[in-house]
Amino acid sequence: MQSYDLIVVGGSFAGLMAAKVAAARGLKVALVERKRDPGEGVRTTGIIVKEAADGIDLPPSVVRKVRGVRLYPPSLAHTDHWSPGYYFLATDTPALLRHQAAEAERAGATLLLGTRYAGHEETATGVHLPNLGLEGRFLIGADGAQSAVARHAGLDRNRRFLGGLEFELAPQVSVDQRFLHCFLDSALAPGYIAWVVPGAGVTQAGLAVRHGLRPDLNAAMARFDKVFGWGKPQVLARRSGLIPVSGILQNVSTPRAMLLGDAAGHCSPLTGGGIALAWRLGRRAGAAVADFLDGSGAHPASVIAKDAPGYGVKGMLRRVADLAPPNWMWNAVFGTSLFKAVTSRIYFHASGSTAPPPSASRGQLE
């Protein structure tokens, strides 16, 4: 039996961050990840909001700045939105996750890749993972929206999801590189949006739909073709996944284990964004476990609960979005000042503008 202070299940945004910080604090950390390579089979678009990007050192080669948002109503008569100084980062997500894995390893964590968690037993002093021959003083389940750790520990599980599907395309020059292109259309993407992202080395085109429906990416590609005139672009890869939109889960810990990231519902029920929170709370969880195990801190789950957002308003807006307003309604409200105010709040968390970004002309790559 190999003994560790902390065992982390899941080697993605949340788990890798928690493992890195805990190892840097001097804990003996093992991270169990079922994939052989943390960058393979990525299930996210990988857009990072400015607030998250500002708090982390990312290699310039894996990110690309996008200044604003171009919104298309069903009529396709688009408007542009941006906020001075604000930006999003499109990412080479596989490379980004490999970078995070290397950082965790450099901090001293042991990465057990190609290793599947299949249950654990908890005692008064820690946990055992009998099938893997591991024991630890604490366990973090950062194994995603359909967490096996939550299931085995009898903890809360996400119940509502958006279903997302995306193509990675060869870079498309007809896509204005300054913007995330977001399509509002309740027939195409009920409950969410369809999108085209000028990514890092690829163009990403996808959509997500509300719980229980299947995304029709071919229909979305036909809609995108009307705007970008790209015919049948070369598809390089496909990404798909479930986005938890139940809100923050409540019963997420036992005395020696806790859930983190999507497993704990740490994902905006409205926008489906979870990377920023996975990093922020992952960092916090790594430090909180170190404090807890040296006897100086409270249970890590209570530390995280204090730091996690409530998502009250976003949860309410999710229920409104799930109603999928008819397209004539989208066309009618589009461009009104109320619509612009809500858009700025959602995308820029502040006041925005519909004037064009000052730099980077159409088609220019940064």
Q: List residues near ligand FAD by CB under 6 A.
A: 9-15, 32-35, 43-47, 116-117, 142-145, 148, 164, 166, 239, 241-243, 261-262, 267, 272-276, 278
Report in angstroms how near the CB of residue 312 gets to ligand FAD at its nearest.
Answer: 19
Which helix (H) or strand (E) segment is 204 a member of?
Answer: strand 203-209
Report in angstroms how near the CB of residue 310 gets to ligand FAD at its nearest.
Answer: 17
Q: What are the tokens at 261?
A: 């990231």
Whole-angstrom Cα distance, residue 131 to residue 117?
8
Whole-angstrom Cα distance, residue 92 to residue 96?
6
- The residue among 14 and 22 lying less far from ligand FAD, judged by its C-beta, is 14
- The residue among 218 and 296 lying less far from ligand FAD, judged by its C-beta, is 218
Report in angstroms how near the CB of residue 331 gets to ligand FAD at its nearest.
Answer: 26
- The residue among 41 and 335 lying less far from ligand FAD, judged by its C-beta, is 41
Whole-angstrom Cα distance, residue 90 to residue 49?
9
Whole-angstrom Cα distance, residue 97 to residue 54?
17
CA nearest to 224, candidates 186, 172, 272: 172
Report in angstroms how near the CB of residue 186 gets to ligand FAD at its nearest.
Answer: 19
Report in angstroms how near the CB of residue 75 gets to ligand FAD at its nearest.
Answer: 26
Contact 186, 324 (CB under 8 A): yes
- The residue among 51 and 294 lying less far from ligand FAD, judged by its C-beta, is 51
Pairing of β 127-129 and β 121-122:
antiparallel
What Rg, from alpha-carbon coordinates, does the chain have?
21
Whole-angstrom Cα distance, residue 356 to residue 176?
12
Contact 242, 147 (CB under 8 A): no
> In this chain, which residue has its C-beta nearest to ligand FAD?
274
- The residue among 14 and 175 lying less far from ligand FAD, judged by its C-beta, is 14
Report in angstroms how near the CB of residue 37 gets to ligand FAD at its nearest.
Answer: 10
- The residue among 333 and 350 lying less far from ligand FAD, judged by its C-beta, is 350
